[in-house]
Amino acid sequence: MAGTLGVIDYEITEIRSRSVREQAQGALDSLGLRRAEGRRGGSGSSARTPGDLLLIVGDLSRFARGSGLDRIAAAPPWVSYVLLVRTQQDRRLLGEPDVALQLNERLQVLDLTAAGPSPPSALPDHLRALVERLRPDRVRAARFAPADGVLWLEFGDGVDRAVRWAALSFAPRTGFCPVSAAAREHGHSVLLVDRAGDELTVDSAVLRAEVDATFRDELDHTDAQRRAEAGARLRKVRQARGLSRQDLAARSGIPQETLSRLETGRRDPRPDTLRKLAAGLGIAVAELLEELSVTSVSASAAVGTGDRRRG
């Protein structure tokens, strides 16, 4: 959910098609990625460290003819590539052994010509999905060794960790004894299965936080921000009705201290608290949730999910 740990830089290099170049640029900018300052060698930024990622987008044919493949071989392990195939000549290159042999997860080919004209969203969608998989709070691979009770995890940014199941802070409370583990599609969670075939899904961010103190701090910070945003909206709903905190406390039966904690993002409202809040405001719970929501259903198709319905 947080996932801003580590920096993902990008380079767009030698893409002949202006429209494809612009699609790539627009998609990467919209994802909040930073354009790499370094130009050559795949490690241009001196500040880059493991956990940071460099994503290079370019034409397959130009990489194959020039020094691109050497760059891949020499690049640090956190570099990921997307290479575009757009011409008949490029497609023939795919059959060349020296290129095909290097088609691994660090060298990806997106064939924009294989099935006729591609929709304009093909490249942005591919880049978005790729960047999602590279995040530190995604698990790309997981295994469980039942003999020693060790869970092995490889995260999206290449960091891998082995941790004893019993040492995970939440494990005792689950009462769960896994015998196998696997990363789920999209890497959002890990699926654990016990001997009886019961399943437990564990959020990938929770797992990263268990093995990475820096990430845990960042996750706490991000979650606090989200609570604060929700609390601010709750305060606006109250103020829009001309009610003081004291008024609402009296009308809802919720202690003022609890209201304060809710509005300042120090706790999440429970369902019964929402019911009391709605009653105190003289509205239905569904109406309260609608007022707290950042978007309306009817507007979402046109404006996307990040836009606010009200100011």
Partner 1 sequence: MRTCSAIAAAPPEVGLLSAFRAHCGSVQIEIHDVDHGPPHCQVSGLPGGGSGTVDLLTLQVRPPGLMLPVAVRRCLCERQQDMLAAWGDVVGWGRGE
Give me the residues that bind partner 1 (CB under 8 A), please. 1, 30-32, 121, 124-126, 128-129, 132, 169-170, 173-176, 185-186, 188-189, 198-203, 205-206, 209, 219-220, 223, 226-227, 229-230, 233, 254-255, 258, 267-274, 285-286, 289-290, 292-295, 297-298, 300-301, 304-306
CA 255 centroid distance within chain = 37
Q: Nearest 5°: phi and psi at 76?
A: -65, 160
Residue 52 beta carbon to partner 1: minimum distance, rounded to whole angstroms: 18
Residue 148 beta carbon to partner 1: minimum distance, rounded to whole angstroms: 21
Question: Is the CB of 99 or the CB of 262 nearer to partner 1?
Answer: 262
Question: Is the CB of 59 or the CB of 137 nearer to partner 1?
Answer: 137
Residue 73 beta carbon to partner 1: minimum distance, rounded to whole angstroms: 29
Question: Is the CB of 27 or the CB of 243 nearer to partner 1?
Answer: 27
**CA–CA distance, 110 with 80 (Å, rounded to integer):** 13
Question: Is the CB of 143 or the CB of 233 nearer to partner 1?
Answer: 233
β partners of residue 34 = 9
- Which SS3 state, helix, strand or coil, does residue 155 take? strand
* Beta strands 189-194 and 178-183, pairing class: antiparallel
Residue 42 beta carbon to partner 1: minimum distance, rounded to whole angstroms: 25
Q: How big, in percent rounded to 5, are the helix, strand and coil portions of the chain?
A: 45, 20, 35
Residue 176 beta carbon to partner 1: minimum distance, rounded to whole angstroms: 7
Q: How many Cα neighbours within 13 Å face the side chain of 159?
A: 21
Instruction: Write out 36-74 in H/E/C secondary structure.
Output: CCCCCCCCCCCCCCECEEEEEEEEHHHHHHCCHHHHHHH
Question: Is the CB of 74 or the CB of 299 nearer to partner 1?
Answer: 299
Question: Is the CB of 68 or the CB of 231 nearer to partner 1?
Answer: 231
Q: Nearest 5°: phi and psi at 34?
A: -105, 135
Residue 285 beta carbon to partner 1: minimum distance, rounded to whole angstroms: 6
